[in-house]
Structure formats: structure tokens, C-alpha cells
Amino acid sequence: MAELQKQFRKFEENIRLSDIDDNKPLRDKRDLLIKELKEWGKKNEKPGFDWFNQGSYHMSTGIKPMEGDDYDIDVAIVYDINIDDYEDPTEVKKWVRDALKRNNREVEILTPCVRVQYREKGEPKNHVDFAVYGKELNWNNDERSKQISKGREFSSFDNRVWEESEPKRLRELIKDEMFQSDKELGGQKRTQFRRNVRYLKRWKDNNFSSNGNQRPTGIAMTAICHEWFKPLVSKDWEGNIVEKDLESLLNVVRTAVANNCGLNVKLPVIPHNDLFEKLKESDHNEENYKKKLKELKKTLEVAWNEPDPHEASKILRKVFGEDFPVPEKKETAKKTAYSAITTSSSSG
């Protein structure tokens, strides 16, 4: 078995979004848009709101987009309203749309959010998605739950609904409950989980078209890791941290394949929705996803059994793309030969 932890860590470094370099332009746009939304709300006598980041930015699992895709950030806007006062949930989305629409922006009401799309030379460059929430209040006017506005402006009335949601809960679930025993390792179990999520996100971006519903979602990859990730992080006899990302990822993928390729995995927090619902609307897309996940499993197994890091990395690049580093043959030849001599002498 080749030692590939160095390559996996470099791969994650290559695809990971940097808060300083990659996210700053989007953060600046987000801050500007929120400022405009507040100003428009005051001018038009609309209720106030709180906001926070959600999605991969909130979870620290974002990756750089592939060529042809664009950068994005998800923001929750929680209006101080009682949803019982707004029978049509899209009415509140229209506030966001009307407040932010400008000549240099495309602002569109989508089913789960309001999207502000920026383009450069006609091509998508980045976008900000605003998920719009209201509050369900109890008899004492205290908040019972947050409710997200679902539906498009001209959807049928049955498809415009308030839906209970827990936008902060998934991050809390992972940070506070999955890794309660992580203190002794300095949080390394949680960071390995995040790397696993990033690896699977890059795999799905590298192997599926972004057109239509062919590509599984990033939150689906996150939920699969939440369901089956088992950390492989420990300390050696000298107290050094030892990580085994390849084996950890292989365990996740093997278990997913054995469980209908993860197609039955739900969002682990309210509303517990089917994360593969759109993909499963097409038999072709579903079978293609199953085929490629099984191919990923086989590729990880072949790489795990390959003693030469150079050859193993070439194998992994087939599923992860050019961002997966391949060490020079001369770098790995001595290590492979030494490993073979050590194994031979120790077995005698």
C-alpha cells in the first residue's frame, strides 16, 4: 500500500476555498447586498431581519468551482415576521428581489432562494443565494420554528409554501455532536471529515455535467459523509498525528455503495428532505450516478493496493481530476523499494 496522505492533503489544499483569496470578493458583494436590503426595507417600511451564512461556507466545506461553474455563497435572511400574516410565502421573497435588482445584476426568485447572479463578459462569475425565512410563533408570540419560503413567483399556489427548517442545526450537529471526543486530537477528526466532504464534492463536479439534474448536490455528499464517516486519525508512539484520508474516504464510499449508493440518505435535520429527489426523477441519471460511485469505490481500492505512490496517484487523478498531485517517479521509486526490502526482511 502506497503512502498517499501527502498527496491527499495537497489535493485538498488545491481545491479548498480560501477565505482570504477566494471568498473575499463574494463576502464584499454579500455585505453590499445586505446593506442595500436593509436600506430598502427601512425606506419601504418592511420588517427588520437577521442574517447569517449557511451552506458550505457556514460548514467550512467549500471547494473551488470547476471551469464553467461559478463561485457562490448562501445567506439566510430571517425576517421578523409571523408567517401566519403572509399566506403567500413568495411575497417576502419579492421584497428581496425588488430591493436588489439593478442593471448590472440578474435577480431571480428560485424555489429555495432568491439568486443574485453576476456575470463577466456574459459568463457566470459568481452568485449570492438568499434563503428567505419567517417565524412560526406560539400562543405566547415566542418563536417555535423558522420557516423557509419555498416556491417561485408564478408557481401554483400549492407549490408556494412555508416549510420548517433548521438552517444552523447541521453545522451544530457536526461540530458539537459528531466530534465530542475530538479535543485530544486538536480537532483533527472534524477536519478529516471536512476533507472527505471536499474530496466527494470534487469527485461529483469532475464526473457529472452541471446541466439539469445529472450532478448530485454538495449537500448530498455532505449528508453521505455525515451518515458513514468514521475518522481514521490517531497519534503514534511519539505523539505525532497520523491521518489516513484514503482509507477513511474508501470506508465512506464502500458503505454508501452497499446502501443503495446513498440514494436513500435524507438531510439529517428538519425538514429531512430527500437529497437525491431531483436526480432520481430520471432513471438514466440515477443509474449513471450508481455506476460512477461504484467506479469511484473500485478506483480507491486499486489505489489503496498499489505500492507505488506515483502510480497510485495517477489512478486517483482519473476520478478526481488534474488537481490531484502526482509525485515524480524518481521521488517514489526509492521509497517503494525500501518498503519492499523492509517488508521482505521483517517477514523472514
Q: Please state the pTM of the whole predicted model.
A: 0.89
Judge whether residue 335 has pLDDT over 60.
no
Least confident of 80-84, 104-108, 308-312, 336-340: 336-340
**Does residue 327 have a pLDDT over 50?**
yes
Residues near 51 by beta carbon (within 8 Å), at least 6 away in sequence? 34, 75, 76, 77, 78
Tell me what pLDDT residue 19 has.
63
Residue 182: the pLDDT is 66
Residue 330 has pLDDT above 80, yes or no: no
Instruction: Specify the higher pLDDT residue, 345 or 327.
Output: 327
C-alpha cell at 101: 435588482
Q: What is the pLDDT of residue 346?
A: 34
Confidence of residue 348 (pLDDT cuts 50, 70, 90): very low
Amino acid at 101: K
Q: What pLDDT, on the 0 to 100 scale, is given for residue 331? A: 57
Domain locations along the chain: 24-166, 171-305
Please determine, for residue 237, whether its predicted confidence score (pLDDT) is greater than 70: yes
Q: Is the pLDDT of residue 30 over 90?
A: yes
At 243-258, the pLDDT tens digits run 999 999 999 999 999 9
State how beta strands 143-150 and 233-235 pair. Answer: unpaired
Task: Please state whether the peptide bond connecting residue 271 to the residue before it is cis, i.e. omega within 30 degrees of 0.
Answer: yes
Which residues 6+ apart lie within 8 Å of 273 measured at CB? 266, 267
Q: What is the pLDDT of residue 20?
A: 52
Instruction: Quickly state the pLDDT bin for 340 (edges 50, 70, 90).
Output: very low
Question: Is residue 332 very low, low, confident or very high in pLDDT (cuts 50, 70, 90)?
Answer: low
Who wins on pLDDT, 239 or 137? 137
CA angle 30, 32, 36 (to 5 degrees): 115
Q: What is the mean pLDDT of residues 316-323?
A: 97
Indicate the CATH number for domain 24-166.
3.30.460.90
Q: Are 75 and 51 in contact (CB under 8 A)?
A: yes
* Mean pLDDT score of the chain: 89
Confidence band, pLDDT 50/70/90 cuts, at residue 63: very high
183 pLDDT higher than 90:
no
Mean pLDDT of 159-169: 93
Q: Determine the straight-line distance between the first and last CA of the chain, rounded to whole angstroms.
A: 19
Q: What is the pLDDT of residue 21?
A: 57
pLDDT, tens digit (0-9, with 9 covering 90-100), for 33-43? 999 999 999 99
Tell me, what's the pLDDT at 344?
A: 35
In angstroms, the CA 198 to CA 191 distance is 11
